[in-house]
């Protein structure tokens, strides 16, 4: 069997474990997973493939492609968490394979490419975004596909036409997934690379013109349809509120720092964070004396992403996710140099010893946490088992480093995050009440004849709508509306809340614990507010007029 094919098959099998296995265990989390799932569900209920809906009204926070994929998955597998997470997981798997192919093209070394793919696959954020319903995995993998297509056409001149056309197709789909950045990110990377190489003429061909036509044919029609149908409401929400406004106004103020993205990359590539830090430092230092085409391409990839996202005041870790494939290639190359060629092997072993010891200390943190949060854990057995596995993993890793079996260490060490994740799966019934509103919604719908509008805390509104199908109002006193306001009543002061309660004889509420005092204060003597049931931090409160 061809070595590349063999490695790809191994990566596919590992990806099924790292990125797909167990995706049906945890229910959809609030507020974001249910946001995308609810939109796709409402589109299905309205029999439309064109307009995204939420709370019965069009919503334009994200383009259409992710919702198409969700609709397909829901049609095939029903409204399950596995179906909702199916395509992010599939794209995660395809991204691992695409990275391997790019690594083979650039490094001309299958082993180096394989380690890079293993690093990407086993990184915490990559695992997380493969297993959750967000646009970021789909978007970033489409950007990766477009860059792989270009580089394939660039280094294999006989495939130039196919490479540029595929670049156009994938960047167009990226634009349909998250907006203009789907083209801007890969194009600027390519342009910077070609300009530095003094090879911009590569783009001056009939294939580029044909690619532009293909890109336009795929990406423009939906936007034209939305502008024609909804006009200002679409352009203001999508282009201004969700793109331009985020440049100047921070959605999450605490993230608006110069160091947020550098720290996020190191933290979210765990367990490889320390290797990533060292790899990036040596990589950019080495560019001064050695600029091979592929390393220049990776450098442009990293720098352009920072130039695009760093100046914007609205920052989230997932925004910078398109840079992670490049970071994985740089980190994987650094690790391969150490384990196979002995370059900086001493530094690699020091980092590996530190990581192995940290894994061994993690069970101590688990034991301490279990003591502090014992009342939230129904069974201690899974925690004991996870602690034992992690301690054993630590011993195995230390032994492999001591015996200089570094390649074996890399493979074993890559399982550390997924072991913790599977440990979390084992106590999912204890976790879900704090991440999802499904249990409380099922309880309410089974035991009460719910009529009228359900009052919820801000974080639960989408989940309550998704699981109950009822009209929703939000209680948040005092509070700010959503960054992109939803077409639902938003009650951020006592007067609005009292006015709302007066409109229906009984109001069923799904609230956070810290909102209980608010609803009881608002109820006063005119209303009776009874806490009926709680699941984790989610409380079911019944409010009715006093007689």
Q: What is the DSSP string of 462-476?
A: HHHHHHH---EEEE-
pLDDT, position 435: 85
**Do residues 271 and 309 share a domain?**
yes
pLDDT in tens, 294-353: 999 999 999 999 999 999 888 889 999 999 999 999 999 999 999 988 888 899 999 999
Domain boundary among 391, 409, 434: 434
* Pair 138, 177: CB distance under 8 Å: yes
pTM, rounded to two decimals: 0.94
**Do residues 197 and 336 share a domain?**
yes
Length of the chain, please? Answer: 547
Strands 57-58 and 53-54: antiparallel
CA distance 312 to 331: 26
Domain boundary among 278, 311, 341: 341
Q: How far is CA 5 from each of CA 106, 121, 336, rounded to the nearest angstrom?
A: 17, 18, 20
Q: What are phi and psi of 506, to 5 degrees?
A: -130, 130
Beta pairing partners, 539? 511, 534
pLDDT, position 194: 96
Q: Which two tokens stand for residue 30?
A: 């609030």
pLDDT, position 82: 94
Angle at 443 between CA 440 and CA 448, to 5 degrees: 120
CA distance 43 to 28: 18
DSSP state of 55: T
pLDDT, position 400: 95
**Do residues 455 and 420 share a domain?**
no
Domain boundary among 402, 434, 466: 434
**Do residues 376 and 227 share a domain?**
no
Structural domains counted in the chain: 3
Three-state SS string over 65-90 comes to: HHHHHHHHHHHHHCCCHHHHHHHHHH
**Do residues 313 and 409 share a domain?**
no
pLDDT, position 290: 64
**Do residues 231 and 113 share a domain?**
yes
**Do residues 422 and 452 share a domain?**
no
Q: Which two tokens stand for residue 15?
A: 């990806």
CA distance 367 to 429: 19
pLDDT, position 274: 96
Pick out the chain residues at pLDDT < 70.
1, 289-290, 370-376, 547
528 lies in which domain range?
437-545
């Amino acid at each position: 069997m061809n070595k590349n094919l063999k490695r790809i098959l191994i990566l596919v099998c590992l990806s099924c474990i790292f990125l797909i296995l167990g995706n049906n265990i945890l229910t959809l989390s609030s507020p974001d997973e249910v946001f995308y799932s609810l939109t796709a569900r409402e589109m299905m209920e309205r029999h439309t493939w064109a307009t995204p809906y939420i709370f019965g009204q069009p919503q334009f926070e994200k383009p259409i492609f992710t919702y198409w994929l969700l609709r397909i998955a829901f049609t095939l597998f029903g409204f399950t968490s596995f179906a909702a997470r199916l395509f992010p997981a599939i794209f995660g798997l395809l991204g691992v394979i695409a990275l391997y192919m790019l690594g083979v093209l650039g490094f001309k070394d299958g082993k180096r490419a394989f380690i890079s793919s293993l690093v990407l696959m086993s990184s915490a954020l990559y695992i997380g975004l493969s297993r959750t319903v967000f646009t970021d995995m789909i978007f970033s993998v489409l950007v990766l596909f477009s860059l792989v297509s270009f580089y394939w056409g660039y280094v294999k001149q006989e495939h130039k036409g196919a490479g540029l056309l595929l670049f156009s197709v994938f960047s167009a789909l990226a634009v349909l997934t998250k907006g203009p950045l789907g083209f801007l990110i890969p194009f600027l990377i390519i342009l910077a690379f070609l300009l530095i190489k003094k090879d911009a003429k590569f783009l001056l061909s009939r294939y580029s013109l044909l690619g532009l036509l293909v890109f336009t044919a795929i990406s423009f029609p939906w936007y034209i349809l939305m502008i024609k149908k909804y006009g200002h409401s679409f352009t203001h929400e999508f282009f201004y509120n969700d793109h331009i406004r985020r440049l100047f106004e921070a959605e999450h103020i605490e993230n608006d720092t110069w160091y947020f993205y550098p720290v996020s990359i190191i933290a979210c590539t765990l367990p490889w964070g320390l290797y990533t830090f060292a790899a990036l430092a040596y990589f950019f230092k080495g560019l001064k004396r050695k600029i091979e085409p592929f390393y220049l391409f990776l450098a442009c990839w990293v720098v352009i992403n920072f130039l695009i996202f760093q100046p914007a005041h609205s920052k989230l870790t997932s925004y910078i996710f398109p840079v992670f494939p490049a970071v994985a290639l740089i980190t994987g190359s650094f690790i391969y140099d150490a384990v196979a060629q002995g370059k900086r092997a001493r530094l690699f072993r020091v980092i590996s010893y530190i990581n192995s010891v940290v894994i061994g200390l993690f069970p101590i943190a688990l034991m301490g946490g279990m003591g502090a949060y014992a009342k939230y854990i129904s069974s201690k057995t899974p925690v004991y088992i996870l602690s034992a596995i992690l301690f054993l993993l630590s011993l195995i890793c230390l032994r492999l480093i001591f015996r200089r079996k570094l390649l074996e260490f890399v493979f074993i060490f890559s399982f550390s995050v997924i072991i913790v994740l599977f440990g979390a799966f084992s106590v999912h019934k204890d976790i879900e009440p704090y991440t999802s509103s499904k249990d409380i919604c099922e309880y309410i719908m089974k035991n009460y004849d719910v009529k009228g509008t359900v009052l919820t805390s801000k974080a639960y509104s989408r989940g309550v709508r998704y699981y109950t199908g009822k009209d929703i109002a939000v209680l948040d006193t005092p509070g700010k509306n959503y960054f992109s306001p939803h077409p639902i009543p938003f009650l951020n002061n006592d007067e609005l809340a009292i006015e709302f309660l007066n409109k229906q004889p009984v109001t069923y509420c799904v609230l956070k614990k810290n909102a209980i005092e608010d609803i009881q204060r608002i109820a006063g003597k005119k209303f009776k507010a009874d806490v009926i049931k709680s699941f984790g931090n989610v409380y079911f409160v019944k409010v009715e007029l006093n007689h």
